[in-house]
């Protein structure tokens, strides 16, 4: 007896199951328990149960026709055993196109649909496995790149500090040179003022030639010798060094001595030009009429000298500061939470598509080069523009070369997980708006892995 009950229970269960409602998932079965009437799921209407799936839409929400195409807002559940179950709009039921891989949507059409779920499932599983492997490998590589990124980050920080140190040193030097230049300038001014107070040009010059000759002629024998020259004259750019004998001879016009007349036409000219040699310690004899003119020249030379030096230091200082600012700018870019994108900074990636070669230099620019070699900018680094969930999934490069119809070229780069870092595809869906697929391990996200496991299969 008990046995019989069990059998009949099994039988009944089987019976109920055989009248299963087409087009619903198991979680919706509770709405379709066979009774006399059916309540539309939105509660809007009660209809006789025979009107469920009778190919006429009674419920606003389409819930009475889950298995037919009668309701405009309905949906049909593909069980797709062996693959992924999913919903399709009711309008795809019996439309002659196979939508469910288990062919359940075309139960009354001319379409000859095969059940392809198992194959699809296998392909899907293989694909997912492949994706998983890629993801695992990608994540491993990403870890490395993160580590590298951290090192690189430190390196860059160190570089920055170094540069900052150099800048500080230069700053000190710069101040010193500024002071010196200031001093030289002041001297020059003083000399100039003194000179302005002096006598007329001609007499001044005559007496000056004579007085300089006398100054050089230490032994007052009306002739300048090599020794005398070596004692009193020095090279402008190397004041400390004593002139060599050959140099002295050359200055004396090839001889070993020189009288006033010869002096007036040779060495005097060289000295007054003031670009190669000068009288030693000329400003050591202030007030002396002899030295005034020479003083001015020397002061002027000194001021120029200091200015040149200052400029050099200033340039060096500017260069360093520029480097610092560049580096700071680079470091200010968001390279991801772990600096994992930092390594891309100095890299460029190329891809040839039809007649164009595209180059993506991350965080810098995107360019396009045609076969003729003309290069066009498609945009300069703009910003991260991914989803709120993962802002690092997309980059935007903006303000490229202007377009014919106004606006400028721009490129949107989508980052996807892969084991290599490479530019995978470039498209131009609208004129001057480029879309790139850029694959790199650092785009691999562990969350993806979890999601993959749960919902993909």
Partner 1 sequence: MAPVLLLWLAVCLSGTWAVDRGNFKTCDQSAFCKRQRALKPGESPYRALLETMELTNTRLTLQLINDNNKVRLLLELYRLQGNITRVKINELKPLKPRYEVPDVLIREPPTEPLSLLSQDENGVVLSLGAESQRVIVSARPFRLDIMEGREVLMSLNSRGLLAFEHLRMRKDTQADPEAEKKEEADPANQAEAAKEEEEKVEDVMWEETFKSHSDSKPNGPSAVSLDFSLPGVEHVYGIPEHADTLRLKTTDNGDPYRLYNLDVFQYELYNPMALYGAVPVMLAHNAQRTTGIFWLNAAETWVDISSNTAGKTVFGKMLDYVQGSSETPQTDVRWISESGIIDVFIMLGPTPNDVFSQYASLTGTQSFPPLASLGYHQCRWNYNDQEDVQSVDAGFDEHDIPYDFIWLDIEHTDGKRYFTWDPHKFATPKEMLQGLMDKKRKMVAIVDPHIKVDSNYKIHNEIRSRGFYIKNKDGGDYEGWCWPGSAGYPDFTRADMRAWWASMFAYDQYEGSMENLYTWNDMNEPSVFNGPEVTMHKDAMHGAWEHRDVHNLYGFYVQMATAEGLIQRSGGVERPFVLTRAFFAGSQRFGAVWTGDNAAEWDHLKISIPMCLSLGLVGISFCGADVGGFFKSPSTELLVRWYQTGAYQPFFRAHAHLDTPRREPWLFGPENTALIREAVRQRYTFMPYWYQQFYLAHRTGQPVMRPLWVEYPQDPATFALDDEFLIGRDLLVHPVTEEGARGVTAYLPGKDEVWFDIHTFQKHNGAQNLYIPVTMSSIPVFQRGGSIIPRKMRVRRSSSCMEHDPYTLYVALNPQRTAEGELYIDDGHTFNYEKKEFIHRRLSFANNVLSSVNLAPDAQFTTGSWIERIVILGASKPSKVTLKAADGQESQIEFEFDASMSVLTLRKPGMNSGADWTVTLQ
Q: How far apart are CA 296 and CA 276, in angstroms?
A: 16
**Binding window for partner 1 (CB under 8 A); candidates: 90-98, 135-143, 282-290, 412-420:** 90-98
**Binding window for partner 1 (CB under 8 A); candidates: 132-140, 357-365, 373-381, 431-439:** 431-439
User: Hey, which residues between 402 and 421 contact partner 1 (CB under 8 A)?
Assistant: 403-406
Q: How far apart are CA 40 and CA 64, in angstroms?
A: 6
CB of 26 vs partner 1, minimal distance in Å: 25
- Contact between 354 and partner 1 (CB under 8 A)? yes
Q: Which of 53, 63, 69, 440 binds partner 1 (CB under 8 A)?
A: 69
CA geometry: angle at 236 spanning 233 and 242, to 5°?
A: 45
Q: With respect to partner 1, which residue has the nearer C-beta, 36 or 265? A: 36
- Contact between 338 and partner 1 (CB under 8 A)? no
Strands (E), 371-440: 375-384, 394-398, 410-417, 422-430, 433-440
CB of 55 vs partner 1, minimal distance in Å: 8
Q: How far apart are CA 268 and CA 250, in angstroms?
A: 14
CB of 122 vs partner 1, minimal distance in Å: 22
User: Hey, which residues between 45 and 64 contact partner 1 (CB under 8 A)?
Assistant: 54-56, 58
**Cβ pair 31, 73 in contact under 8 A:** no
CB of 437 vs partner 1, minimal distance in Å: 12
Best CA proximity match to 139, nearest among 452, 456, 455, 454? 452
Q: With respect to partner 1, which residue has the nearer C-beta, 77 or 392? A: 77
**Cβ pair 400, 380 in contact under 8 A:** yes
Q: How far apart are CA 240 and CA 236, in angstroms?
A: 9
Best CA proximity match to 366, nearest among 304, 433, 430? 433
CB of 429 vs partner 1, minimal distance in Å: 5
Compute CA 256 distance to the chain's CA centroid, rounded to the nearest angstrom: 69
Best CA proximity match to 410, nearest among 368, 356, 454, 447? 368
Direct distance between the N- and C-terminal alpha carbons of the chain, in angstroms, rounded to an integer: 44
CB of 412 vs partner 1, minimal distance in Å: 12
User: Hey, which residues between 238 and 297 contact partner 1 (CB under 8 A)?
Assistant: none
Total interface residues for partner 1 by CB under 8 A: 25
Q: How far apart are CA 407 and CA 417, in angstroms?
A: 32
Q: Which residues pair with 435 in a beta bridge?
A: 412, 427
**Binding window for partner 1 (CB under 8 A); candidates: 35-43, 93-101, 183-191, 338-346:** 93-101
- Contact between 446 and partner 1 (CB under 8 A)? no
**Binding window for partner 1 (CB under 8 A); candidates: 85-93, 134-142, 144-152, 250-258:** 85-93
Q: Which of 89, 121, 274, 386 binds partner 1 (CB under 8 A)?
A: 89
**Binding window for partner 1 (CB under 8 A); candidates: 23-31, 84-92, 140-148, 245-253:** 84-92
Q: Which residues bind partner 1 (CB under 8 A)?
A: 54-56, 58, 69-70, 72, 89, 91-92, 95-97, 354, 403-406, 427-433
């Amino acid at each position: 007896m008990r046995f019989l009950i069990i059998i009949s229970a099994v039988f009944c269960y089987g019976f109920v199951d055989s009248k299963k409602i087409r087009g619903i998932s198991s979680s919706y079965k509770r709405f379709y328990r066979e009774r006399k009437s059916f309540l539309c799921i939105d509660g809007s209407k009660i209809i006789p149960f025979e009107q469920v799936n009778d190919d006429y839409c009674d419920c606003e929400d389409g819930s009475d026709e889950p298995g037919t195409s009668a309701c405009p807002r309905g949906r049909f559940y593909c069980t797709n055993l062996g693959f992924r179950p999913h919903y399709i709009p009711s309008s795809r039921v019996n439309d002659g196109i196979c939508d469910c891989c288990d062919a359940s949507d075309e139960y009354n059409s001319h379409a000859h649909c095969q059940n392809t779920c198992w194959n699809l499932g296998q392909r899907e599983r293989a694909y997912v496995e492949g994706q998983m492997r890629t993801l695992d490998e990608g994540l491993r590589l990403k870890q490395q790149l993160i580590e590298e990124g951290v090192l690189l980050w430190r390196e860059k920080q160190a570089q920055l500090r170094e540069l900052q140190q150099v800048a500080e040193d230069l700053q000190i030097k710069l101040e010193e040179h500024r002071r010196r230049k200031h001093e030289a300038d002041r001297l020059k001014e003083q000399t100039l003022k003194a000179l302005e107070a002096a006598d007329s040009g001609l007499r001044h010059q005559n007496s000056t030639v004579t007085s300089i000759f006398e100054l050089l002629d230490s032994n007052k024998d009306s002739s300048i010798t090599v020794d005398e020259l070596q004692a009193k004259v020095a090279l402008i750019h190397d004041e400390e060094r004593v002139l060599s004998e050959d140099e002295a001879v050359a200055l004396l016009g090839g001889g070993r001595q020189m009288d006033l007349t010869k002096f007036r036409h040779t060495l005097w000219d060289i000295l007054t030009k003031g670009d190669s040699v000068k009288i030693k310690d000329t400003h050591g004899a202030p007030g002396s009429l002899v030295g005034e003119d020479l003083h001015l020249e020397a002061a002027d030379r000194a001021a120029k000298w200091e200015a040149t030096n200052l400029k050099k230091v200033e340039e060096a200082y500017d260069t360093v500061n520029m480097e610092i600012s560049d580096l700071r700018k680079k470091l200010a870019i968001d390279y991801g939470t772990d600096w994992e994108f930092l390594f891309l900074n100095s890299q460029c990636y190329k891809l040839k598509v039809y007649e164009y070669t595209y180059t993506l230099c991350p965080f810098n620019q995107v360019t396009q080069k045609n076969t003729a070699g003309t290069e066009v900018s498609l945009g300069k680094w703009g910003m991260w523009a991914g989803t709120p969930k993962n802002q690092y999934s997309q980059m935007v490069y903006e303000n490229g070369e202007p377009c014919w119809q106004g606006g400028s070229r721009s490129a949107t780069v989508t980052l996807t997980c892969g084991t290599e870092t490479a530019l995978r595809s470039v498209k131009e869906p609208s004129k001057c708006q480029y879309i790139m697929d850029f694959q790199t391990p650092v785009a691999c996200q562990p969350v993806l892995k979890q999601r993959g496991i749960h919902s993909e299969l």
